[in-house]
Structure 1
């Protein structure tokens, strides 16, 4: 089995020691991704944009995502992101889980992690 690692060039990849994407065994694993912005919606859209770019580099898109995990320090803010998530996944919603937890920096309001199936 070939393992392909795709880095995005983010500063934390080297500091922490991870890749944005790992492709292995027909699966695409996208690391937990935070976004930029002052609101949970702005950060959610920014994270989705980063994930979209990562999926495309791996050879798939949001329609190939089978599992998503949302992590938020304030569960009450999750509902504000729902329209963005529906727009991203459209007619191909993945299995999902939302966890209320602390994130790496208090400025972050949401982190998103996905797993997709690669069609080679």
Structure 2
């Protein structure tokens, strides 16, 4: 079984040297994804809107990989300001209502100050 690389066209992918997602051996590994709207390369100010954008980008990458949010088994959230994290819960609980993945939230700095959340997932390819 080969390896498939998926790109969203983000300039960061080319500049830093990574794929949005990699499919290997029935698994989909999605890179840490922030809240940019890649169509306009804009970043909302609000962490909830950033969470929605990140999950939409992740969802598109998973679909291209032959998976979907319902097949996520692991999710990592990175949030610089932990006090903002609870505002994201309605969005994340809806996105992962079926999958109920193992999850971790880490509070740490991100690449750019405008980034309020980064989300990384691991999923199975859909059966």
Q: Give the structure-1-normalised TM-score.
A: 0.97
**Equivalent residue for 1:70?**
77
Which residues of structure 2 form unaligned runs of 5+? 36-42
Where 2:106 maps in the other structure, the secondary structure is: strand
Runs of 4+ aligned structure 1 residues displaced above 4 Å come to none
Where 1:13 maps in the other structure, the secondary structure is: helix
**Equivalent residue for 1:96?**
103
**Equivalent residue for 2:5?**
5
> 1:51-103 CA deviation, whole Å, 9 max, x = no partner?
01111100111110000000010111110000000111113210000000000
Verify the 8 A CA contact 2:68 2:126 in the aligned structure 1: no
**Equivalent residue for 1:20?**
20
**Equivalent residue for 1:84?**
91
Quote how far apart the aligned CAs of 1:7 are.
Answer: 1.0
Q: Give the structure-2-normalised TM-score.
A: 0.91
**Equivalent residue for 2:67?**
60
- Paired residues, number: 120
> 1:25-71 CA deviation, whole Å, 9 max, x = no partner?
11000000000311110100010110011111001111100000000
**Equivalent residue for 2:47?**
40
Decide which structure has greater strand share.
Answer: 1
Which residues of structure 1 form unaligned runs of 5+? none
Verify the 8 A CA contact 2:52 2:91 in the aligned structure 1: yes
